[in-house]
Structure 1
Amino acid sequence: MRLMSLLLHVAGLIIIVVVALSGSPRSFAVEQPSDIPAWLQAHVGEGDGQIANVVLRRARALYLQKVSQGAVNNPCYFAMDATRPAGFGRRFYVICEANQTFRAVPSGHGSGRNVPGANFSNGIQCAKNFSNAMDSKLTTGGPYVTDETVTRFKGYYRNASGKFVAFNRSFVQFDGEGDTANARPRAIGGHPAAVLRVACLRKDPDSNYANKDGYVPFGKLVDYAAGRSNGCTSWSQSDAAKIIPMMKEPSTLYIYPESGDIAAVAQAVKAGRSPSRAGLYWNASCLKQIRAPKFWPKETLEPVLVQYKKDHPAPPPRPTPICKGQ
């Protein structure tokens, strides 16, 4: 019934789909304001918890395009505005038109790196640098389709009450096209903003996760929900627990800005023109902080990173020590 409702809704919007099939995501801006349902239009804006007009239109057109192609049948779709402040700023969007729900939550952006010959690191609050280069640890804007979810055991940690808790982290793989086409080899996806820093191996032969010698990894759980990611889309653990199950059925994710948007805004800033007056969008507070954004194409950045890796080979792995006093 849910799928039938969705298909009927899409049928009523067939004109939008025809427009979507005619070009790239940026061509979807030809849609008219009346194309957006009134309940959803009420969430459009640049305030906290709202979604910018261009971000919604591209995300919606991408979703309708993939539905019409039979690529997705999820009743919900997703979007992210990486020009907005991170931390507790709500800039990741869950949109379910079938039941008319809209939710905005915080999400992280790629931290980037600072290596000899190229400094493309990002601050915690605002992203200045973007790239689709391998090992860049940067966010790439554009169209994605969510794919399989893999959950892996990472180890144990002590919670606030002192109890040993198993930490299993889920990862949703994204598949992209265009600039985002290498999302899979880059291991770009969505996951909780938490990592277990394994310190030692603890004896626990009764654990289902114990190795053949009866040991399990043990360490400290680090929550970085207010920080940056390695280029993936990260959410708080509580938000991830709601969002990841919604991605079990493939759907679409549109991340703004794309490389063309970045170049256009940078050009406007260089010319001393206001991006908004030029018909371009970038979050005003972050633009003031970063001055101008930059996209680093993989063709430019990857040779630098390959050379850096050659000059700085990783040390040989060390065996994990046995825990003492645990």
Structure 2
Amino acid sequence: MLLLAFAALLLVVFAVARARQRAQLREGTLLVAAVVFAALGVLQLLVQSDPDAAATTVRVVAVATPVIVLVLAVFLITNGITMLRLEGRSLANLLSLIAGVGLLVFPLLLLALLAWGGFGGFVVAAGVVLVAGYAAAAFVAFLVSSLLYAALPAPRRPRAIVVLGSGLIRGEVPPLLRGRLDRAIAAWRRAVRAGGAAPVLVPSGGQGPDEPRPEGEAMAEYLRDQGIPGDLIRPETRSLNTRENLEFSRVIVDGIDGGGPVLIVTSDYHMLRAGLLARRRIPRARVVGARTAAYFVPSAFLREYVALLARQRWMHVVFALVFGATLVSVYAAIFLV
């Protein structure tokens, strides 16, 4: 019952965090942890009341897990090949392919470590399982947090709409960036229909080394071509990454009259990380995402996940150790007590 009680406590904490309506990784972590502890609590009750049913449940999970991993690996490899064919060769575009191959190689690595023999091989194999398990749990928590943040309502009458840049192709707006701009235009038109002052649009993006002009300039041109009045477009053309997008856009936003909220538009896979960065740079802003081509989503989410891990790497080292200690404790509570 202790595991079920802990799951209930996690759900209460999740509800409190959810009520704040902001970008938070903790929401997904709390919800996933609550579901896992609830499942483990049910398993514990089965072990105590019906050992045969518990053994059957464990066998089903043991058989289903490699099948699920195999299907996921094939999907990721296929997606990775599609990414290389449609988007070109780069590390970011290789992520889903690398992840798929890694899922296939992982069991072979474990078998090799166990065949190495001795206590040392077992310890290394256990460490590999711990790291892989934590990485998988953290990725699921990241996905759930992203979905929860995407489900929050967006302001209908913002005073400003900031559009984050994503790179030009031969100086022109490519489909990915066009999707962000179209989402911003739809929000702008909805705000105009709602009445009051029309929002100011802030297309944000500087000039990369392979770009003939700043992204903000090309984005502003696209907005004007779509019928947005030029006096309501204030491009930001110095930023080179998301953090700078937000910091430099805030200077423009702070100069806009009115007390309404700020809406930030990016791609759906980028929403959570943009929201986390915006919390300190444009407080109380809400980030919304434009839809991305389906084939692009797996690699894009993996890239965002890796970026978040790198940004908080030492925190994740501590969490991985806590994760391992928790697994050992739960195993002991279910099967050894």
TM-score when normalising by structure 2? 0.24
Structure having the larger proportion of residues in helix: 2
Larger Rg: 2
Normalized against structure 1, the TM-score is what?
Answer: 0.25
More strand by share: 1
